[in-house]
């Protein structure tokens, strides 16, 4: 049996366990050297602060604890990985048909809003100092929302919202949507930055479109491909009882990956084209066809948006076709910013999504027609993971996304994680042997 001497005292191997009892067990201190309550604070700071450096400041000022940003990063990534493992187990159970509903109150009306954001990644460690292999990659985000189960005898809002026919409000709305999805983030340095968005104007526009009253939202976020993402969203919908709802919808921006995802995982659900993305396309087409910021372009946009809001899709298509014929069709090598290309692309966008544009019927059923909830959610994810100076390793940002998603969900899953998490081993933190070896007289 091993024997050694410390500070004039002899110890044998059997004594080693005494260094950790009974305080570590009583406080449930794990290998990190912190109690669960402190770990919870560290993860909260790491997942919700703008950066790990800011999280370090929050821990110092608000928690009275000195924890380095690097240490906060390691702990948050590891805890995010644990949440990732839980998510993946749910996915496997969903694939096997063994995942059940995990809530008591099933919603009557629900919607899954999906969209994509941006994150800047770099090569893995071990390739020398500095950032290497950097590039912008997509993140997939889903916002699952339950709504009040209200259905109407007729369209409750037949008139287009006032904010969607106010020139400045529409311009600001389109600008913000471009910013959220990374276009301004990825602009060349010599390009002029867009004018700041007027938050009140934008929010007012979104609220006027959002007639359905939301109840509870939860979030799913990943860097994985669409196939994996689809299973993650389906598992989340199953746990929340969405498949048993009376009215259920899938909303998106019309991206070519959304319809197949819906057909595979949400068959029979009402697929809806986000009205705000349609607004952005119609506004762009009007500007291209009749001149940027001209009175004629604005008047044409108002006619387009009123047709779309009223569900007059045939008339909307005819108006776009007439403009496309007037200015001419684009050629194979026509630039993306050519007016002919913009109008033709908008026409194609409307034709492709026409079956998802019956907005009067959706409003009558009490369904949302805007994916503003996921737009807001992406913005909140972007506050944590997106920035020109933020370069993430893919495996690490995935873990951060899981912790961030937990705290952005409104079902207390972040807190439930800590109630069920078991302590991992025992800790030997800084100066933890000092009291045992030098007891106070």
Per-residue pLDDT tens digits for 314-331 = 999 999 999 999 999 999
At 29, the pLDDT band (50, 70, 90 cuts) reads very low
* Cα-based distances in Å from 51 to 106, 382, 387, 389, 425: 37, 12, 10, 11, 29
406, 413 Cβ separation under 8 angstroms: yes
pTM to 2 decimal places? 0.82
Length reported for the chain: 441
pLDDT tens digits, 232-268: 999 999 999 999 999 999 999 999 999 999 999 999 9
Closest-CA residue to 221 (of 55, 54, 384, 44): 384
Q: 437 pLDDT exceeds 50?
A: no
With H, G, I as helix, E, B as strand and everything else as coil, classify residue 50: coil
Could you give the percent of the chain with pLDDT greater than 90?
66
Q: 190 pLDDT exceeds 70?
A: no
Q: What pLDDT was estimated at residue 281? A: 96
Structure token digits, residue 381 = 């994810």
Average pLDDT over residues 421-440: 49
Phi, psi of 121 (to 5 degrees): -115, 170
Structure token digits, residue 244 = 């048993």
Q: What pLDDT was estimated at residue 7? A: 54
Q: What pLDDT was estimated at residue 426? A: 43
Give the highest mean pLDDT range of 216-230, 367-381, 418-432. Answer: 216-230
* Cα-based distances in Å from 123 to 74, 383, 391: 18, 22, 9
- What sign for the dihedral angle of Cα 131, 134, 140, 141? positive
Q: How far apart (Å, rounded) are the C-alpha atoms in residues 131 and 236?
A: 35
- Tokens 């500070």 belong to residue: 7
Q: What pLDDT was estimated at residue 227? A: 96
At 390, the pLDDT band (50, 70, 90 cuts) reads confident
Domain extent listing, the chain: 21-93+393-425, 100-383
Q: What pLDDT was estimated at residue 161? A: 93
* Cα-based distances in Å from 229 to 83, 154, 219, 236: 15, 36, 12, 11
Q: 332 pLDDT exceeds 50?
A: yes
Residues 6+ apart with CB under 8 A from 24: 426, 427
Q: How far apart (Å, rounded) are the C-alpha atoms in residues 290 and 176?
A: 23
Where is pLDDT greater, at 22 or 395?
395
Q: What is the DSSP string of 199-224?
A: HHHHHHHHHHH--S-EEEEEEEEESS
Q: In sequence order, what are the beta bridge partners of 249?
A: 111, 270
Q: In sequence order, what are the beta bridge partners of 272?
A: 251
Q: How far apart (Å, rounded) are the C-alpha atoms in residues 400 and 221?
A: 10
363, 156 Cβ separation under 8 angstroms: yes
With H, G, I as helix, E, B as strand and everything else as coil, classify residue 280: helix
Instruction: Kindly report which listed range (242-246, 286-290, 419-423) carries the lowest average pLDDT score.
Output: 419-423
Closest-CA residue to 144 (of 268, 236, 246): 236
118, 183 Cβ separation under 8 angstroms: no
Q: What pLDDT was estimated at residue 177? A: 77
Q: Residue 331's Cα: distance from chain center in Å?
A: 37
Q: In sequence order, what are the beta bridge partners of 140?
A: 116, 222
* Cα-based distances in Å from 176 to 69, 125, 193, 206: 31, 35, 12, 11
Segment (H or E) for 143? strand 135-147
Q: What is the largest CA-CA distance in the chain?
A: 96
Q: What pLDDT was estimated at residue 396? A: 87
Residues 6+ apart with CB under 8 A from 211: 156, 157, 363, 368, 369
Instruction: Kindly report which listed range (10-14, 350-354, 410-414) carries the lowest average pLDDT score.
Output: 10-14
Q: 288 pLDDT exceeds 90?
A: yes
Average pLDDT over residues 390-415: 92
Q: 431 pLDDT exceeds 50?
A: no
pLDDT tens digits, 127-184: 554 555 677 888 999 999 999 888 899 999 999 999 999 999 999 999 887 766 555 4
Q: What is the DSSP string of 92-135?
A: HHHHTT------SS--SEEEEEEEEEEEEE-PPSSS-SS--S-E
At 192, the pLDDT band (50, 70, 90 cuts) reads very low
Q: What pLDDT was estimated at residue 186? A: 35
Q: What pLDDT was estimated at residue 219? A: 98
Q: What is the dihedral of CA 404, 410, 414, 419, to 10 degrees?
A: 180
């Amino acid at each position: 049996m091993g024997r050694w001497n410390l500070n004039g005292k002899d110890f044998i191997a059997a004594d080693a366990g005494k260094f950790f009892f009974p305080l570590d067990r009583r406080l449930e201190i794990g290998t990190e050297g912190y109690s669960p309550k402190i770990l919870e604070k560290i993860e909260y700071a790491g997942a919700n602060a703008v950066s790990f450096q800011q999280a370090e400041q929050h821990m110092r000022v608000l928690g009275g604890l000195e924890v380095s940003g690097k240490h906060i990063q390691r702990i948050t990534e590891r805890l995010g990985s644990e949440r990732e493992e839980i998510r993946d187990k749910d996915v496997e159970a969903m694939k096997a048909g063994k995942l059940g509903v995990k809530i008591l109150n099933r919603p009557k009306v629900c919607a899954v809003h999906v969209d994509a954001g941006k994150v800047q990644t770099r090569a893995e460690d071990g390739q020398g100092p500095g950032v290497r292999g950097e590039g912008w990659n997509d993140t997939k985000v889903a916002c699952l929302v339950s709504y009040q189960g209200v259905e109407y005898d007729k369209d409750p809002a037949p008139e287009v919202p006032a904010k969607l026919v106010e020139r400045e409000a529409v311009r600001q709305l389109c600008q913000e949507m471009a910013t959220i999805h990374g276009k301004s983030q990825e602009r060349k340095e010599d390009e002029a930055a867009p004018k700041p968005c007027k938050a009140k104007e934008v929010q007012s526009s979104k609220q006027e479109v959002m007639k359905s009253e939301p109840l509870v939202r939860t979030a799913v976020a990943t860097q994985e491909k669409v196939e994996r993402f689809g299973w993650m969203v389906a598992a989340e919908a199953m746990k929340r009882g969405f498949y048993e709802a009376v009215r259920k919808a899938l909303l998106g921006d019309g991206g070519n990956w959304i319809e197949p995802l819906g057909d595979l995982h949400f068959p029979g659900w009402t697929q809806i084209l986000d009205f705000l993305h349609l607004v952005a396309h119609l506004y762009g087409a009007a500007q291209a066809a009749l001149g940027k910021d001209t009175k004629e372009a604005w008047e044409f946009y108002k006619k387009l948006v009123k047709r779309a809001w009223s569900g007059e899709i045939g008339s909307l298509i005819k108006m776009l076709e007439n403009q496309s014929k007037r200015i001419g069709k684009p050629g194979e090598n026509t630039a993306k910013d050519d007016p002919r290309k913009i109008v033709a692309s908008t026409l194609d966008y409307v034709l492709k999504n026409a079956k998802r544009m019956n907005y009067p019927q959706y409003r009558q059923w009490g369904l949302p027609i805007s994916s503003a909830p996921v737009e807001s959610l992406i913005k909140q994810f972007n506050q944590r993971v997106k920035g020109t100076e933020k370069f993430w390793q893919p495996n690490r940002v995935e873990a951060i996304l899981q912790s961030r998603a937990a705290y952005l969900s409104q079902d207390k899953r972040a807190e439930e994680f800590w109630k069920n998490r078991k302590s991992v081993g025992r800790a030997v933190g800084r100066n933890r042997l000092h009291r045992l070896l030098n007891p106070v007289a």
